[in-house]
Structure formats: C-alpha cells, structure tokens
Structure 1
C-alpha cells in the first residue's frame, strides 16, 4: 500500500532525510521518500495514518493526511 501525507516545515535535503528515517522507523513501513519542495512524503508499507503523522511530528515537523 502506498500513502502520501503532507509534511510542513522541511526546508532542505537534511530535513527530507530526517522525515524519511522517522517514517522508516514505523513498524510495517518498507520505504519512505520525502520531498521538501512538494511538502509531501510518500510511504510504502502497512501502517495506519495516525502512526505516520505521529512519527513525523515526533521528528519535529507538522504532518497531515
């Protein structure tokens, strides 16, 4: 399953890496790609949306589905 969420607060490649690592740490996620220009992250795997949002917010960014 592929899910796309909105991520606000990313401004550079380092921010993208931080968000990707946070999302990949969620149980059931196989891949995550963040794009600071599009303000989005695309996630592959099985996790509910609230877990994804929580992981991004714990990393210091604002997220929504």
Structure 2
C-alpha cells in the first residue's frame, strides 16, 4: 500500500530525514520519502499500517510538523 501525505512544517533536508526516520519506526512501513520543497511524504507500507499511526509518527518527529491530508496513492 502506498500513501501520499501532505504536510506542513518541513523546511530542510534535516526535516525530511527526521520524518523519514520516524516513519520507518512504524510497524509495516517499508519506505518513506519526504520532500520539504513540496511538503509531501510518500510512504510504502503493509495494509495493516493505519493512517493514524503515520500521522502520529510525523507529528511526533517535531512539534513543528503537521499532517494536512493523507491519500492512498
């Protein structure tokens, strides 16, 4: 399963790396690619991974990060 997540608060490559690292700790996530230029994150994961767990990981990576929307890609 693949999700495209629109975010707010990613400003640099370090932000991207923080979000990617947080997402890769979520059970079932196999790949995460954050892009601060477009404020999007693409995540590949198993069907058991919930959008809520992805949101929690992103928003937990920094108090400045927020999820705007999550769509199945």
Q: What is the TM-score of this pair, normalised by structure 2?
A: 0.84
Unaligned 5+ runs, structure 1: none
Match of 1:25 in 2: 25
Query: What is the root-mean-square deviation in Å for CA atoms of aligned residues?
Result: 0.8
Alignment length, in residue pairs? Answer: 65
Alpha-carbon distance in structure 2 between the residues aligned to 1:2 and 1:26? 14
Unaligned 5+ runs, structure 2: none
Match of 2:50 in 1: 48
Deviation at 1:6, TM superposition (A): 1.1
* Cα deviations by residue, 1:20-65 (Å, 9 ceiling, x for unpaired): 0011110000000000011110000121101000100111110132
* Superposed structure 1 runs of 4+ greater than 4 Å apart: none
